[in-house]
Amino acid sequence: MAVGLFDSGLGGLTVLDAVEKRLPEVPFVYYGDNLHAPYGVRDADDIYELTKRGVERLWQSGCDLVILACNTASAAALRRMQEAWVPRDKRVLGVFVPLIEALTERQWGDNSPPREVALKHVALFATPATVASRAFQRELAFRAIGVDVEAQACGGVVDAIEEGDQILAEALVRSHVEALQRKMPRPQAAVLGCTHYPLLEPAFQAALGPEVQVYSQANLVAASLADYLQRHPGMVGPGRERAFLTTGDPARISSRATAFMRREMVFQPA
């Protein structure tokens, strides 16, 4: 009954933590492609091939349903995978839609025409590849009109998180927020469009100010997954064992993950 979680590195652990708390009876298999992180500076074809490789490995672990707990992979690869590659007995889902549903106050499956919503000015902080894809704006346009989105590519942040350099990561957050505010001085809401970024949510909130509502994805994705599994119980795969897989050095990644999650995590070679 395993479900797979895919990420380019450690950021998806924020989603893993939330889904494990929401669905303690489900064994999750986590795949971190740490060897090739960060994805945010790669081109779309490269991201697509790497994501396919990771998803196939999770299918081999008995996960018929895989969540791309990576905004860059969701933005650059998901639609292409769903349209031309995913078999009919498998599912691959992304992390954008639950976030946009929360922003626009629409329920899952609401296919009514896009309408005006309360939010008019939204800041998007994401990787360069996610920003270039405009996937967030495209998905938002399916559900809402009249929303001004200003995107800021946050180069270097994922690298600093993966290297465990908190001081550099927080300094980069402040720099990227200042750059965003030069383009949109008073956003009503800010979207942390990378699953690494919740690890720095206090830094984003401090730089943006208390009047800006900051949206991160972990709990939203967990609630959406719980709802999906209730409606599609057959998509829980045959796998029975929880596992943490990495394409990087297992000892190093285990140490980093344990520090991030504040609990022991032992990764195995993918």
- What is the residue range of 81's domain? 3-94+218-269
Residues 72 and 139 in one domain: no
User: Confidence band (pLDDT; 50, 70, 90) for 162?
Assistant: confident
Residue positions annotated with a catalytic role: 70, 194
What is the pLDDT at residue 6?
98
φ, ψ (nearest 5 deg) of residue 185: -60, -30
pLDDT band at 238 (very low <50, low <70, confident <90, very high): confident
- What is the average pLDDT across 111-132? 92
Calculated CA dihedral for residues 266, 3, 77, 116, nearest 10 degrees? -120
Element (H, E) at 32: strand 28-32
Q: Is the pLDDT of residue 94 over 80?
A: yes
Task: Indicate whether 111 and 207 sit together in one domain.
Answer: yes
Considering the domain architecture, whether residues 121 and 84 belong to the same structural domain is answered as no
Out of 189, 215, 241, a domain closes at 215
Which of residues 215, 241, 256 is at a domain's end? 215
User: Is residue 192 within 8 Å of residue 214, measured between CB atoms?
Assistant: yes
Mean pLDDT of the chain: 93
pLDDT number for residue 217: 87
| Confidence at 269, pLDDT banded by 50, 70, 90 | very high
* Residue that terminates a domain, selected from 188, 215, 242: 215
- If asked whether residues 207 and 224 sit together in one domain, one would say no
Q: Are residues 59 and 136 in the same domain?
A: no
Tell me the mean pLDDT in the region 83-98. Answer: 92
- List, for residues 214-228, the tens digit of each pLDDT value: 998 898 999 999 999
Where b means 16+ CB within 10 Å and e means fewer, 23-39 reads beebbbbbbbbbebbbb
What percentage of the chain exceeds 90 in pLDDT?
Answer: 77
Q: Are residues 128 and 208 in the same domain?
A: yes
Mark whether 240 and 202 lie in a shared domain. no
Here the CATH number for the domain that contains residue 103 is 3.40.50.1860
Confidence check: pLDDT of 199 > 80: yes
Q: 109 and 168 share a domain?
A: yes
Same-domain status, 101 and 199 = yes
Both 130 and 189 in one domain: the answer is yes
- In this structure, the answer to whether residues 72 and 103 fall within a common structural domain is no
- Lowest-confidence region among 29-33, 177-181, 197-201: 197-201
For the segment 194-213, the average pLDDT, to the nearest whole number, is 95
Asked whether residue 16 falls in the same domain as residue 88, the answer is yes
The answer to whether residues 19 and 28 touch, using CB atoms and an 8 Å cutoff, is yes
> How many independent structural domains does the chain possess?
2
